Amino acid sequence: MSIDLEKILRPVDMVLPEFPAKYMTLSNGQEMVVRQVNRDEIPDILPHVEKLMHVERDYYHIVAARVYAELLAYYTYRVQDEYVLAAQVNGEIVAVVNGRIVNPDIGMSFHTLSMRRGLRVGAHAFAAKMEYHIDILKQKEVLIVAESPIGFRRWMIEYKLEKRFHIPHELGGCPSWSLTKELFDKARNTLVVGRRPVPEKLLAKAHAAILPPTDPPKAPEDLLAATRSMLDNTGTSLIDMRRKLGGI
Ligand SMILES: CC(C)(COP(=O)(O)OP(=O)(O)OC[C@H]1O[C@@H](n2cnc3c(N)ncnc32)[C@H](O)[C@@H]1OP(=O)(O)O)[C@@H](O)C(=O)NCCC(=O)NCCS
C-alpha cells in the first residue's frame, strides 16, 4: 500500500540529456570542473549548504535554505524535472547550481550558490547552467530571478536579461527575467568559458568524492553586527546557535 502511494507522490521525470562536464582555469590558476551530480551525491552536498543558512551576508541564508530544500526535493523525488550541477576544484565543492525544465521550450533557473568567494566560480557555474538549458536542451529561454544585489549584478546586468514581469517565478512568485537564446549568443564569447573534454584525471578526481569547501563564506566576526538584526544585542542566541552547529 505504501509503495503504491509513493508511486503517486513521486513525479515521473522526463528523460533529459546529461550536461557534458567541462573545465576552466580560474583567475588563481586552479582548474575547476563543472559536472552534473546524480541523486546519490546529494547527501554529500547538503551539509555544506546547511552551514550557509546561518550566513546573513549577501543573502546566503535565504538562498542556502532554498537550495537545501531543492536538493532534498530532488533527492527524495519531490520535484519535477530538476537537475543539479556542481563546480569542483581538486574535488572540493566550490559552487552548486540547479534548475528545472518547465516544458521543452522554457527552463526555470533555481539557484547559484558560491562556496568560495572572489574567483567568479558562481558566475562560471551559472553560465554552465544556462549552457545546459540553451545548448544542450535547446530551450528558447530560461526564467531567472535574483535574491541578492550580487546576483542581480551577475545575471540581470551582465547578461542584459529581458523582463518577463507578467510571469511569476517559481521562487516566491517574484517577477521573472529571461535569458533568451539571442542574449546567450551575445554573451557566449565573454561570459561563457570552459573546455571539453575534461582531462580524464581531472574528471576522475571530481567524481571520486565531493570534498568540503575549504574557505566557505562564514558568519561575521562582529557578533554585535550579526545579532542586531536578530534583536539579540548580547549575541547569546548566535553563540548558542554556533555551538549547536559545531562552529561556523
Ligand atoms: C551571487 C553569487 C553566486 C556570485 O558568485 P561569484 O560569481 O563567485 O562572485 P563572488 O560572490 O565571489 O563575488 C561577488 C562580488 O563580491 C566581491 N567579493 C570578492 N570576495 C569577496 C568576499 N570574500 N566577500 C564578499 N565579496 C567578495 C567580488 O569581488 C565580486 O565583485 P564584482 O561583482 O565586482 O566582481 C555569490 O555571491 C553567492 O553565492 N551569493 C549568495 C547567494 C546568492 O545570492 N545567489 C544568487 C541568487 S540570485
Residue to mutate, 28, 108, 117, ligand 1, most ligand atoms under 8 Å from C-beta: 117
Separation CA 130–CA 20 (nearest Å): 13
HEC assignment per residue over the chain: CHHHHHHHHCCCCCCCCCCCCEEEECCCCCEEEEEECCHHHHHHHHHHHHHHCCCCHHHHHHHHHHHHHHHHHHHCCCCCCEEEEEEEECCEEEEEEEEEECCCCEEEEEEEEECCCCCCHHHHHHHHHHHHHHHHCCCCEEEECCCCHHHHHHHHHCCCCEEEEEEECCCCCCEEEEEEHHHHHHHCCCCCCCECCCCHHHHHHHHHCCECCCCCCCCCCCHHHHHHCCCCCCCHHHHHHHHHHCCC
Predicted pLDDT at 243: 77
Å from CA of 118 to ligand 1 middle: 6
Q: Which atom of ligand 1 sits closest to the CA of residue 123? A: 7
Residues with Cβ within 8 Å of 167's Cβ and at least 6 positions away in sequence, in order, are 143, 175, 176
Q: Are 147 and 211 in contact (CB under 8 A)?
A: no
| Pocket lined around ligand 1, Cβ cut-off 6 Å | 58-60, 63, 111-114, 117-118, 120-123, 146-148, 150-151, 153-154
Domain positions in the chain: 17-218
Nearest CA to ligand 1 atom 33: 150
Residue 245's pLDDT is 73
Query: How is residue 155 written as a grid cell?
Result: 545575471
**Cβ neighbour number for residue 218 with a 10 Å cutoff:** 14
Residue-level pLDDT at 247: 57
Give every CB contact of residue 18 below 8 A, 6+ residues apart in sequence: 36
User: What is the residue-level pLDDT of the chain in tens, covering all 248 positions?
Assistant: 567 899 999 999 999 999 999 999 999 999 999 999 999 999 999 999 999 998 988 999 999 999 999 999 999 999 999 999 999 999 999 999 999 999 999 999 999 999 999 999 999 999 999 999 999 999 999 999 999 999 999 999 999 999 999 999 999 999 999 999 999 999 999 999 999 999 999 999 999 999 999 999 998 665 556 566 666 666 677 777 777 777 55
pLDDT of amino acid 211:
98
How far does residue 150's CA lie from ligand 1's centre (Å)?
6
Distance 106 CA to ligand 1 centre (A): 27
Report the nearest atom of ligand 1 relative to the CA of 115.
Answer: 39
What is the distance, to the nearest Å, from the Cα of residue 168 to the centroid of all Cα atoms in its chain?
20
Testing ligand 1's pocket by substitution, the residue of 26, 68, 114 carrying the most ligand atoms inside 8 A of its CB is 114
- Of all atoms in ligand 1, which is nearest to the CA of residue 116? 12
- 200 CA → ligand 1 middle, Å: 30
Dig out the grid coordinates for 221 from the structure: 566576526
Distance of CA 148 from the midpoint of ligand 1 (Å): 10
What span, in angstroms and rounded, lies between the C-alpha atoms of 192 and 20?
14
Confidence (pLDDT) at 226 = 59
Q: Which residues face 175 on adjacent strands?
A: 168
CATH fold of the domain at 17-218: Aminopeptidase (3.40.630)
Q: Whose CA is nearest to atom 13 of ligand 1?
A: 118
